[in-house]
Amino acid sequence: MAKVTHEFDLYGKHYVLETGELAKQATGAVLVKQGDSTVLVTAVVSKERKDYDFFPLTVDFIEKMYAVGRIPGGYLKREARPSEKATLTARMIDRPLRPSFPAGFRNEVQVVATSLVADQVNPVDTMCVMAASAAFTVGGVPFEGPLACVRIGRNPETGEFIVNPTYDERDASDLDLELAGSDSFISMLEASADEISEEDMLAAMAFGQEAIAAFCEEQKKFFEKFEQVNGPIQQREYVYDEPVPYVHDKVFAHYDEMSAALKDADKLSRIGKVELLKAAIKAEFTEEEQALYSREIPVELKSLEKHAMRCMVVETGERVDGRAADEIRPLMVKPDYLPLVHGSGLFQRGQTQVLSVCTLGMLNEWQRLDTIEPVDGKRYIHHYNFPPYCTGETGRMGSPKRREIGHGNLAERALLPVIPSEEEFPYTIRVVSEVMESNGSSSMASTCGSTLALMDAGVPLKRPVSGIAMGLIQEEGKTVVLSDIQGLEDFLGDMDFKVTGTERGITAMQMDNKATGLTPEILSQALHQAHEGRAFILKTMLDAIPAPRETPKDTAPQIITIQIPTDKIRDVIGSGGKVIRGIQDDTGATIDIQEDGNVFIAGTDGAAQDAAARIKAIVKVPEVGEEYTGRVVGIQPFGAFVELLPGKDGLLHISRVAQGRVDKVEDVLAIGDEVKVKVLEVDEKGKISLDRLDKPEVPGGSKGGHGDHHEPRGERRGERKPRRHPGDNGNVGSGRAPRRHHEG
């Protein structure tokens, strides 16, 4: 195979498609570039058909740290498990590819996307779909292509849409919409937005569909070049699982029984009835037939269930649980569900139940991200857990699966636009959504439950967020849009369309679509029907908790932010961290000092206030005219040193410790005495001169003035000691002599 390269420009960006040089033993391999960002996408199809009743497709996205010139962290110094971003990118590639393969295709397919260069300007994710589509085509793999994926941003000032924006353009955008599909329909959608309207979202989707078509057209030009150099692309031959008329007719003879078994609002009861019916139908086949049609019988049984459910909706307008198309399942909303935690909320919709728990922490507890993207980390974190018991099953517990990571990311994107800034709320925020029961739409229940938990924790959300999952049934020429779909309607329906938002607009969306006839009119109906559903759900939530708590709970850390001069940071830290550790040990607070002088102090039961007061005292510079009650910490012949603030003392000259002549400071003051003083002077070196307020009479002493006191002179090497003045009892040259004082 000879090397073929196709370069083109679209929407202000430069792209390259290339094949024939790398990974030539794969079924298909294509190198794709946007700017200098480069990804190699390979596709391999097994030679043998697998004995599965599903399509065995796996997609992996491999982040190579050399792509950004970094050595991986950790002991092994090599890439380990994929990051969340890598997992989400693999899902983005998988979702449009999977429905594009023919029904009955059972050969194993593996797609591997490897990042080779990440230029920190152009993201590497969306272009992988185009490369995978091209790899399938040049490899002669049957699928409904070409396919492409684009990201749509928007300039919030001009309203102009941007195709595949750079990282800087994304940061300035109020929309982040990823769309994938063919030149005629959208099969996958993922979005986050700053509360934009349904009309604006529809316009962005329509623009995105045009952009996808343009990238599909460029792929066709690439294939033409390939065939000019390497000859016609040879289509590979694969054996599909085809329906057997005898099996189909025998199974579908039980259509009425299946329709009756499906009419049950309780999920587990309905599943039980359906499984009993399937077992009974299977038993009608002889043992020889069951062995002969071991793959065909389960496929036809599933097809019967799907057909019966869909016909019920389009013919009668009634769903399996008796609801109308736009009806929401019964709701239960309980904020402040758990004691002691910082915030919690239980949200239940039908047989889907999610408990969300919010935890507040210091800003230095933000999550650091080690990826090939120019992102250091995040301070709002959402995690989603889907244990086996939530569906009444057993299973292995362990690290989160791709689905859990994807659902958690959707809920995180839904709430991120309404999370307050660091300046407004200086906390790291983590929400964990535990799915307790699941019968569809658990990610939307997670979004609603997390809103409750955040409000219960006192997080000042800009506006509360609710979410709903929409579905679609297209059967026998009829189309029905469903609100609040349950699990069966997701698995056997044509669309899973999740929409979240506030009363002002949409904050996030996710869609997987199997229907090629998804028109703009159907999308518009789905979005507006979702708007009504979101509003109904949000009203129920606000009836339970109308607004966020005014302050975090007592169990949450109180965080105080103060600003100190940068040249005082080392005074607060102290030698080897001695000072800051002492403050933390004494008060129980946690202190985080930033390089710019911002200090974040967290603690409960007044610990933060105590620590803040001590830090302010350390950095405080006494000013002329201020009065203090200080403690005598040192006595010299010429006066007493008084501690005004921790680490800050001033000199109270002997002439100012009492009314009258004082022969010895010790006659009036002792170490540990508290005295009220006033700041007279702060010189350029920071030395402080004090005057005592409410001076006492000198006990048994003269009441003459002290105008004849002179500032003592320091000793010089080789000179004799100078004569002391009458009132100077003590050593001369202490290095802390007071200024000369003259009484009028």
The DSSP-derived string for 171-184 is HH-SEEEEEEE-SS
**What is the C-alpha to C-alpha distance for residues 59 and 721, in angstroms, rounded to an integer?**
90
Calculate the CA 663 to chain-centre distance.
71
The DSSP symbol for 338 reads S
**What is the C-alpha to C-alpha distance for residues 313 and 550, in angstroms, rounded to an integer?**
46
- Helix 296-316 / helix 245-252 crossing angle, nearest 10 deg: 50
**What is the C-alpha to C-alpha distance for residues 653 and 680, in angstroms, rounded to an integer?**
11
The DSSP symbol for 597 reads S
**What is the C-alpha to C-alpha distance for residues 735 and 597, in angstroms, rounded to an integer?**
33
- Helix 198-230 / helix 127-138 crossing angle, nearest 10 deg: 30
**What is the C-alpha to C-alpha distance for residues 688 and 50, in angstroms, rounded to an integer?**
87
CB 598 within 8 A of CB 563: yes
Nearest CA to 349 out of 493, 434, 269, 446 is that of: 446
Q: Which residues pair with 135 in a beta bridge?
A: none
Q: Is 535 helix (H, G, I), strand (E, B) or coil?
A: helix
The DSSP symbol for 116 reads E
Give the angle subtended at the CA of 459 by the CAs of 458 and 465, to the nearest 5°: 115
Sorted by sequence, the CB contacts under 8 Å of residue 325 that are 6+ apart come out as 313, 317, 319, 480, 481, 482, 483
CB 665 within 8 A of CB 622: no
Nearest CA to 317 out of 488, 481, 493 is that of: 481
Write out the two tokens for 391. Answer: 């569906």
Neighbours of 621 (CB within 10 A): 12
**What is the C-alpha to C-alpha distance for residues 162 and 507, in angstroms, rounded to an integer?**
18
- Cα torsion for 335, 337, 338, 339, to the nearest 10°? 70
Alpha helices in 553-629 (DSSP H): 569-573, 578-587, 607-619
The DSSP symbol for 696 reads P
The DSSP-derived string for 414-475 is HHGGGSPPTTTS--EEEEEEEEEE-SS-HHHHHHHHHHHHHHHTT---SS--EEEEEEEEEE
CB 535 within 8 A of CB 503: yes
283 in the Ramachandran plot: left (φ > 0), alpha (ψ -120 to 50) or beta?
A: alpha
Nearest CA to 463 out of 454, 472, 471 is that of: 454
**What is the C-alpha to C-alpha distance for residues 379 and 504, in angstroms, rounded to an integer?**
24
Residue 490 labelled as part of a binding site:
yes
The DSSP symbol for 247 reads H
- Report the residue count for the chain: 744
Task: Please report, in range form, the residues annotated as the binding site for Mg(2+).
Answer: 490, 496
